[in-house]
Structure 1
Amino acid sequence: MCGIAGYLAFKSVSAEAGAVALKAMCDSIQHRGPDADGMFVDSDTGVALGHRRLSIVDLSETGAQPMTSPSGRYCIVYNGEIYGFLDLRQKLIDHGMSFRGTSDTEVLLASMDLWGIRKTLDLAHGMFAFAVFDRHSNRVVFARDRLGKKPLYLGIKGGHLLFGSELKALRAHPAFGAPEADRRAQAQYARYAFIPAPLTIYRDVMKLPAGTLVEVKLDAPPMSSEDLVDGLRTFWDLPDRVEACRADPYGDEAQALSGIEDALLSAVGERMVADVTVGTFLSGGIDSSLITAMMQEQAAGKVTSFTVRFDHDATNEADHAAAIAKHLGTDHHEVTATPEMAFDLLRTLPNVYDEPFADPSAFPTLLVSQLARAQLKVVMSGDGGDESFGGYERYVRMMAMERLSAKLPGPAASALAASPAFVTQVAAKILQPLAPASLRAQITPDRLSKVASIARHRDFRSRYDALFTLWDPPLADCQGVFRSHQIPDRLNPVDTMMLLDSELYLPESILVKADRASMSVGLEIRSPLLDDRVVEAAWRSPDSLRYDGKSGKVALRRLLDKRVPKALYDRPKQGFGIPLNDWLRGPLKSVAQEVFASDSSVGEMFDRAQLNKRWNEHLSGARNWGPHLWVALMYHFWQEEWLR
C-alpha cells in the first residue's frame, strides 16, 4: 500500500528539474507512504514516475518502487495489494520466470512481460491503481481496480499530464496553475455529498472510474481531460458480470451458501498475507463481526480489533462490539468520539479529502484509523456487504415507498414535499396513530417530507435518485447519476439499487471515505467482502440469500450464526456515523452559525434563502436537516483550504 504521483511532459526534460517537480508531488502525499520514496525520470520522453512506500509485503529494497520488469520493457508505480499473488507467482515460475524478491509488484511486472498488461489485469485480483511506462510502445497505461478501492486522478494542465493518488499531488506540480472549480462537479456534490467519477472538483482533472484503464501515447498528447475520458476502456464491468452470474446461478441455497463461505474464507485468508501484523475494524455489525470471526479462525494468535465509542445511544455500537470481541477472543481497543474532537477536525477533513466530501462518518473513520495506526499498519474492514448482499435499510424503505407511490398522486406528493414544516408536523401527528405500532416511530415530519419528494417522481430510477438527493442541483442540466447510469433493464428494483450502489455510492463515497481517512495516517484497509469473487458469488445466489423481502444479508447472517450467538448481533442496523443533528444544535452550533450567517462560499453553491430556512428549522427542532447542512459546511471549509 502506497501513494503514487508523476507526470508526462511530452517533451524532453532535464533530469534535475524533472526530479524537483516530481519530489514536490511525492512529498505532498508522504502520509500515504511514510517508509520510503522512489523516483524515475526519463529525460528523453519526459516521463516521471514517483512513489511513496508503506512497507507491508517484502520490506526489503527488492520491493521498492518505481520498479522495472525483468525484460526492462515496463516501469511501474503501483498503489495497492494483489491478493493471491503467490499463486500467480508460481504460475510465472512454471513458465520459466525468476524473482529477486517476494513482492506482488514484481509479480505484476513479470506477468506483464510474459502476457502483457491487459491479461495481467484479468489475472490480478485485489485493490490497485497504477501507472506503467511501456518503453517499447512509447506509451503509459493507467488502471484502477475492479471495484474502485484505490484512487487515481489524472489532469491536463499546462501541457502536462499530471497524475496521483490524491489531488494534492497534482496541485504540487508547477504546471497545475490557479485552481478552477468544475461547475458540474459542484452540482453533483450539492446533490449527493460526493462527486461521482469521472468528474472531480477541478476543471481538466478526472478520476479514473473503477475497472477501467486509459492508454496515453507519448507522441499523441491528450489536449484535455475530456480526451482522457473518451479514451477510457473497461477491463472488468460489473453489470456484465451481474448478467453472467444471474445466467449461471447456484443450484440451490445450500450450494450458494457454501460458495459464498468458501469465497469469503479464501478472501480473508489472502488478506492476512503480510510481513506485518494485520488487525481489524470491529463495529459490532454483521459484516465486521463475520470478517473478524473468520480472521480469528485462521490466525495463529489473538487478532487485534478496534472500534469507536459514542456517548449517544442512537449511534453507539461499542458495547456490542466489545461483547463480540470477548466472545471471539480478540485483543480489543476503543476510542471515544466527542463533539470537541469533531470541532478540532472540521478544518482537517478538507485536507484529508482534497475535494468536497460530506459523509459525516468520515470523522469516526479517521478517529478509528488513528487508533489502529498507533499499533498496526494494516486492518480489515467489513465494507462491501451492504451493496452485494442487500444490507442497506434504505432498500426496505424504498420498497415501502414504491407501494406508497402507487397510491399517492403526483400532484399531492409535490404539494406535501413543498409544504412548510408545520404542515408535515401536523400530518405526522395525524398519521402516527393510524399506522401499525411497529411503524409509528418511523413517521416523522422529516421522513414524510422525504417520502413526498420521492413519490412525486413517476419512474423508479428517478425516485431512487431523489432518495439520495440532498440539494436540488444549481445547474438545470445536471443529470442525476442514479437515474442516468447505464445498467441492465431486466433487474428487479432491489437488484437495481444494489447495482447502482455498487457502481456509484460504493466507489465514490464509501471507499473514498475509507481510503483517505486511513491513508492520511499511513494505514492500509483490506476489505474481503469487496473481493470480486465474493461479489460474483453473491450475485449467483438466489434472492432469498441476499434480500428476502424483509431484510438483507441473509447469507451473511447465516454464516455469522455459525460463529457468534445471535443475541450478540441481532438488532436493528445503526450505521457508523456521528449524532450530527444533535451536535449541530449543540457543540457545533456556533461554528455553523458563523459560516451560514456570513457572505461566504456557501452563498455561491446553495440558495441563501433555502439554506437559512433549513438552518432555522433545524435549530428550532421543527426538522432535522443535519446531512444537508453538513454538505454546505464541508464545502465552505474545503473552499477555504483549497480554492485559493
Structure 2
Amino acid sequence: MCGIAGVWRKRDPIGSGDLSDVARMMQALAHRGPDDHGNWNDARLALGHRRLTIIDPSPAAGEPMLAASGDGVLCYNGEVYNFRALRRTLEAEGLTFRTVSDTEVVLQALHHWGPQKAVPSFDGMFAFAYFDVRDGALWLGRDRLGIKPMSVAETGERLLFASEDKAILACHDFPRRIDTRELTLRLAWQSRDSSYSVFNGIERLPPAGLWKITGDGIEKRRFWHVLDVLESARIAGDNTSDAGHAATLQTLLEESVELHCIADTSLATACSGGVDSGLITALAKRFRPELHGYVVDPKLGRSEAQDAERTGRHVGVSLRRVSLDRDRFFELWPRAVWHLETDGWHASHAALLALAEQCRADGVKVLLTGEGSDELFGGYKWQASTMRLWRQSWLQRLFRSKARRDRKFAELRRAPFRNSIGRGSPMDRSMALRALSPELNFLQTKLFDRLEGVAPPADRAFLASCFYDLYSHLQDLLHRHDRLSMAASVELRVPFLENRLIDFALHLPRRQKYRDGTGKWLLKKVAERHLPRENIRAAKIGFDMADAFSAGTQGLLRGGLLRDAMKWSSSELEDLIDMARSHETSRLRLVGMELLLRLYMGNETTGGLTEALHAEVGSVK
C-alpha cells in the first residue's frame, strides 16, 4: 500500500521544476508510505513513490520498478491478491522473477500482455501508473470498484497525477480553487467522494478506469462495469438450491479471506457487532491464528463493543476497544476532513481515524473489514423499501386498465428506487436530474433496463437498487476507508470485494438476498455457522455515533467561508444554523464543509480548528 505521484510533459522535456513538484507531491503523501520512497524520470515522465511495505519488504521490491529490459516502469498502489497464480502463468510463458512481490507480477503482466489484457485479470485493489517505453504510452488504471484512488489534473503543458488531491495542490503554481457545483452536490446528498474532487481542475479516475496517455492526448476507457458484465438470464434462470448457494458462498468467502490474509506483516480486523465484519473475523482466524480485532467504543450514546466482544468470544479472537470521547472527537474531526478532502459528513469518520491510529500504534499495518456486503447481498433498508413501489394489490391489478398499468410502469422505470432523485412529477424529476448528477441518476434506469427478463418487476427494481449502490453509497465508503486508514499508514482490505465474489453476488436472485423480511438472507445463513445467533438476528444499525458528539458546533458557520462560497444571506445562514442545531446530519455536513474550506482555502490548522470547535461549544453552554 503506497502513494504514487507523477508529472507527464506534453511537449517540452521534464525539467527541474517538474522534479521539484514530484518531490512536493511525495511529501504531501508521506503518510501513505512512511517506510521508503523512490523516484524515476526520463525525457517526458517523472514518477515518485512512497512505500508502505506489506508484501516482500526487500529493497528489490521498491518502486518505481523497472522491467528487466529497462523499457517499462511501474508506480503502483494496492495489492493484487492473485499475484501468485498470475506469476505461475507468466513463468509458464518464459518469464523470470527477481522478487517475491506482487508489484513485480503486476509489472511483468502489464509489460508482457499489455494493459488491456492484463488489468482485467488482476484480482485486488489497485491504482497504478505504467509507462511503456517501447511505444511511449503512459497508462493510468484503477480497480473495478474504485477501492484505491487516483487524482488527475491536466494543465496547459502537463498532466499531474497522484493518490490524493492534496498532492496535486502542493504543485508549484497549481491554482487552489473550490468547485462550488461540487459543494452543492454534496450538500444535496449526492454520492460523489470517490470519483469527483471538490477542487477545480482535479478529476479522479473512475472505478475501472484505464486511461492511455500519449502525445496525441488521453484515451479514456473502462475495463469493467456492472452494465457490461451483468447476465440477466443467469439470474432469471437460477434454480440452484439454497444449500447449493450457501456452499458456494462459504467456499468463495474462505478463499477470498485467505487471499486477503497474505502479508509479510501484522494483520487484524475491524470487528463490530454486525454480521459482515464478524464473519470476516471468524474466517480470518483460520489463516491467522494470532489474529486480534478492534472495535470503537464511543463514550456518548450506544456502543457496539459488547456485541463485538460476544463475536470475539464465539470465534476465539480477542478484541481491543478504541475509546472515543468528545475531546478526542474534536481533535480528530478536522484531521479527518483534511485527509478526506471533503466534508466530514458522518461522525464515524473520526471514529475510523481513531481506530486506524490505534492499529498503527500497536504495530498493525493491515486491517480487514466487511465493506461491500450490504451492496452485494442486499443489506440496506432502502433496497427492500424499493420493492413496495412495484407491488400491486389484487384489487389494483383487477381494476386497473392495461394502458394505466403501462403508464405506471413507465413512470416507475424512470425513478425505480425508493430513494431515487425526483420522485415527484416528471418535470420535477427532469429538473433534478439535469441539475444534480446525471451520470449517476440516469444509471438507475439503465440498470433496471439491463435486468429485463427478471420477474416480477419488484425483484428487478430491488436488484437494480443493490447494483446502483456499488456506484453511489459504496463509493463514499471506499473513499472514506482509504483516506482515513492511510492517514495512519494502515492498509485496509475488503474481502467481500473479490472478483469471484462480486460475480457470484451480482447473479444471485432476489430471494437469496431478501426473504421473509430479512436482508442479506443467504449471507446470514452462512454466518449462522460462525457467529452468535443474537448478533445475526440483531437489527442493522451501521456505524452509529451519538448526536451529542457534534452538538453545539453549528455556530462555526457564522462569518465563515462556506457562507461566502454559497452566497448565502445573513438570514439564510441563520436559518441553516437553526436547522443544524436540531438536525445532526445537516450539522455534520455543513460544519464539515466549513472545516474543509478553512483548512484548504483559509490555511487554518487542524489544531486551530479543534480549539475553535471547543470554543464554539463552550459559548453555547
TM-score (norm 2): 0.85
Kept in 2, the 8 Å contact 1:242–1:539? The answer is: yes
Tell me what 1:382 maps to.
Answer: 370
Q: Is 1:562 matched with 2:525?
A: no
Offset, 1:318: 0.9
1:402–1:269 CA distance, 2 compared to 1 (3 A): same
Tell me what 1:627 maps to.
Answer: 585
Counterpart of 1:613 (choices 564, 575, 579) is: 575
Tell me what 2:9 maps to.
Answer: 9
Distance 1:406 1:480 in 2: 36
Offset, 1:193: 6.1
Counterpart of 2:308 (choices 321, 326, 343) is: 321
Q: Is 1:273 matched with 2:262?
A: yes
Offset, 1:96: 1.2
Tell me what 1:125 maps to.
Answer: 123
Aligned pairs for 1:442-591 (under 5 A) are 460-461=415-416, 463-466=418-421, 477-479=435-437, 482-485=440-443, 486-491=446-451, 492-507=460-475, 509-548=476-515, 550-580=517-547, 582-584=548-550, 588-589=551-552, 591=553
Distance 1:87 1:209 in 2: 27
1:358–1:534 CA distance, 2 compared to 1 (3 A): same
Distance 1:458 1:389 in 2: 22
Q: Which amino acid aligns with 2:10?
A: F
Distance 2:220 2:535 in 1: 46
User: 1:58-78: per-residue Cα shift (whole Å, max 9, x none)?
Assistant: 100111000012332321100
1:60–1:175 CA distance, 2 compared to 1 (3 A): same
Distance 2:507 2:196 in 1: 32
Q: Which deviates the most, 344-353 or 100-109?
A: 344-353
Q: Is 1:263 matched with 2:225?
A: no
1:133–1:460 CA distance, 2 compared to 1 (3 A): same
Distance 1:261 1:379 in 2: 21
Distance 2:239 2:99 in 1: 40
TM-score (norm 1): 0.82
Distance 1:83 1:214 in 2: 23
Kept in 2, the 8 Å contact 1:50–1:66? The answer is: yes
Kept in 1, the 8 Å contact 2:332–2:354? The answer is: no
Stretches of structure 1 that go unaligned for 5 or more consecutive residues are 222-227, 408-455
Q: Which amino acid aligns with 1:215?
A: K
Offset, 1:372: 1.3
Kept in 2, the 8 Å contact 1:379–1:526? The answer is: yes
Offset, 1:298: 2.6
Q: Is 1:32 matched with 2:32?
A: yes
Stretches of structure 2 that go unaligned for 5 or more consecutive residues are 396-410, 452-459, 603-621
Offset, 1:248: 6.9
Counterpart of 2:89 (choices 65, 88, 91) is: 91
Identity among equivalent positions (%) equals 27
Kept in 2, the 8 Å contact 1:361–1:577? The answer is: yes
Distance 1:11 1:285 in 2: 54
1:360–1:516 CA distance, 2 compared to 1 (3 A): same
How many residues of Structure 1 are paired with residues of Structure 2 in the alignment? 569
Q: Is 1:209 matched with 2:206?
A: yes
Aligned pairs for 1:153-302 (under 5 A) are 153-176=151-174, 178-192=175-189, 194-195=191-192, 198-217=195-214, 219-221=215-217, 231-243=219-231, 245-246=234-235, 249=238, 251-299=240-288, 301-302=289-290
Offset, 1:113: 2.7
Kept in 2, the 8 Å contact 1:239–1:499? The answer is: no
Aligned pairs for 1:423-434 (under 5 A) are none
Q: SS of the counterpart of 1:37?
A: strand
Distance 1:402 1:598 in 2: 47
1:468–1:338 CA distance, 2 compared to 1 (3 A): farther
Distance 1:74 1:14 in 2: 18
1:350–1:153 CA distance, 2 compared to 1 (3 A): same
Distance 1:400 1:476 in 2: 27
Distance 1:614 1:250 in 2: 53
Q: SS of the counterpart of 1:498?
A: helix
Offset, 1:250: 6.2
RMSD: 2.8
Kept in 1, the 8 Å contact 2:561–2:597? The answer is: no
Aligned pairs for 1:357-436 (under 5 A) are 357-375=344-362, 376-399=364-387
Distance 2:344 2:188 in 1: 11
